[in-house]
Amino acid sequence: MNRALILVLDSLGIGASADAPAYGDDGANTLGHIAQACAQGQADVAGGRSGPLRIPNLNRLGLAAAQTASSGSELAGQASHVVTAAYGYAIEQSRDKDTPSGHWEMAGVPVPFKWGTFPTTVPCFPERLIDELIKRAKLPGILGNCHASGTEIIQRLGAEHIRTGRPICYTSADSVFQIAAHETHFGLDRLLDVSQIAKQLVDEWNITRVIARPFVGDDAATFQRTANRKDFTTPPIAPTLLDHLQQAGGTVVSVGKIADIFAGRGITEQIKAKDNMALFDAMLQRFATAVDNTLLFVNFVDFDSHYGHRRDVVGYAQALEAFDQRLPELEAMMQAGDVALITADHGCDPTFPGSDHTREHVPVLFFGPDIKGQNIGPRKSFADMGQTLAKHFHLPALPHGVAVNWQRRSC
């Protein structure tokens, strides 16, 4: 079989990049700091997880070794493993540390410029933008108009939103305009319509994404975001690996928010699921029927949205351990010729102040029945991953990136 999977552990950085100080991220290390907290007993839960981070399968695939190579320090509390995959780390060349830039670059298209962002002032959005949004979407006004954590702002303003019918608009350090609204009181379809209008308007400010953030609940204690999130994203600035594979007759299956990140470009089929474990189930189910020249591209969003941004070290550790336990199920399904890649799109160190992404290296773990354990070293661009998969699918070389030439297992 000639199939491939990309498993993006959204935000699992493994050490600060050389340019991290320019982003305020000097010393960031998402995985390293989580492992350190676990080893020191700071992530113990009464009646739940305790002790060092337990990720033996990821370490067997080279995650701990990649983190050591990236950061120069051992991953705390981890036993040594014989590595069975081609492992290394990649350095981002895109100018920002946002989700689309990271994904596009790993698919062969680095972003050579910075996206627009909104200032940290209150209000943060241009008056002209908000006035036009209110007019076009026929809104009674908006709430928020500030930088905020998505969970915090719905707890703070959710009740007022229900009472007034005004959607909650907020942003972050990323190039994003986010709109939260109650699925029942405001309506999911209406939220999506408002978000589409907003995306048309924010293009003037070179904003990458408008994210519709529906939530449910009756009060601050019960408000929670739902799985019906929708990202309205600027299309990639050039054809990606996905476009080239689709045009060559291959199949590209988006699992999770991948289709949104690529604005639907190069996507053959979309599968949604509510959380990491449901995403893993959906991936396995679809992989079982995948034919030659199929790429499954999966984003495990909970690592970022539930734990990284919320600075939840314990939750992040538990999510990593749960993911690790599922990996043998995937490996058992892989056949000769299949390749899987575990990586990330940026960091989001839960031990850092604030709630924003962190500028970090990401792991590059290629594995499959034919791949021998080996160190593939530092990769100068995330685009090396896309170039490697282009070679795997016998596509013409992409404009960016250098393919990994791994050693193969002997028959």
Residue 299 one-letter amino acid:
N
User: Which of 199, 233, 267 is where one domain is finished?
Assistant: 233
Residues 92, 144 within the same domain: no
Residues 13, 92 within the same domain: yes
Residues 141, 56 within the same domain: no
Q: Flag whether 150 is in a domain.
A: yes
- pLDDT (tens digit per residue) in 301-319: 999 999 999 999 999 999 9
Inter-helix orientation angle 383-392/99-106, to 10°:
40
Residues 262, 221 within the same domain: no
Q: Flag whether 120 is in a domain.
A: no
Residue 306: which H helix or E strand, with range? none
User: Which of 233, 264, 294 is where one domain is finished?
Assistant: 233
Residues 229, 262 within the same domain: no
pLDDT of residue 399: 98
Q: Flag whether 119 is in a domain.
A: no
For the chain, percent of residues with pLDDT exceeding 70: 100
E-assigned strand segments in 176-240: 176-182, 209-216, 224-225, 230-233
Residues 191, 151 within the same domain: yes
For the chain, what is the domain count? 2
Residues 247, 225 within the same domain: no
Q: Which 3-state string (H, E, C) describes 51-88?
A: CCCCCHHHHHCCHHHHHHHHHCCCCCCCCCCCCCCEEE
- pLDDT (tens digit per residue) in 158-196: 999 999 999 999 999 899 999 999 999 999 999 999 999
CATH of the domain at 33: 3.40.720.10
Residues 137, 183 within the same domain: yes
Q: How many CB atoms lie within 10 A of CB 180?
A: 27
Q: Flag whether 116 is in a domain.
A: no
Q: Flag whether 252 is in a domain.
A: yes
pLDDT of residue 47: 86
- pLDDT (tens digit per residue) in 254-312: 999 999 999 999 999 999 999 999 999 999 999 999 999 999 999 999 999 999 999 99
Residue ranges making up the domain that contains 135: 127-233
Residues 209, 334 within the same domain: no
Residues 321, 183 within the same domain: no
pTM: 0.95
Q: Flag whether 122 is in a domain.
A: no
Residues 221, 256 within the same domain: no
Q: Flag whether 385 is in a domain.
A: yes
Residues 229, 249 within the same domain: no
Query: Cis peptide leading into 123, omega within 30 of 0?
Result: yes
CATH of the domain at 219: 3.30.70.1250
Q: Flag whether 408 is in a domain.
A: no
